[in-house]
Amino acid sequence: MLELTMASVSEADAGATAGMLMAEVPSLPGAVLRVGRDRNVCRLVTPDDWLFVSRTHLEFRCGPDGAWSVSWLRGSNPDPASEVRLLSGGTARALVYGGAAPLARGGSGEIVIQERSGPRSVHVGYFHEG
C-alpha cells in the first residue's frame, strides 16, 4: 500500500493545512497514481492556475515486485517552471526533469514541487508499507 498526502502552499498561507488531499493505492503491479492540474487524469490535483505544475507532473508507479517509484513527467515546455526534490531519510536530492527515483519499502518521505519564480510549492508526503 502506498499512502499519499498533498498540500499546496503559497506564501500567504504557509502554515495552513486546509485543502490537504489524501490517497491510498494498493501495491499491485502496474498501479499508477498521478499528481498535477488535470482532474481527468490525476488523483491528487493542484489549483488550476498554478502553471508551474504540469497537467500531469508526478507519476507514482508500482513495479512488478510491488515496489513503488516516482517519476517527474516531462511537460510541453523544454524547461520546467519548477524544481522537484525528494526528501527521505534525512537527505534531500533533486529529481531530474523527466527522471525517476525508487521509494524505499517501509519508508516515508516527501516530494516537493517548488515554483522557480515564486513562493508557491506542493508537498506530497508518502508512506510505502513494507
The pLDDT tens digits along the chain (130 residues) read 889 888 887 765 555 444 678 899 999 999 999 999 999 999 999 988 899 999 999 999 999 999 999 999 998 889 999 999 999 988 999 999 999 999 988 889 999 999 999 888 999 999 988 6
The amino acid at residue 9 is: V
CA neighbor of 128 nearest in space, from 22, 42, 24, 33: 24
Q: Measured between alpha carbons, how far is 31 from 49 in angstroms, rounded to an integer?
A: 28
Q: Measured between alpha carbons, how far is 39 from 128 in angstroms, rounded to an integer?
A: 24
Q: Measured between alpha carbons, how far is 26 from 13 in angstroms, rounded to an integer?
A: 32
- As a whole number of Å, the CA-based R_g of the chain is 14
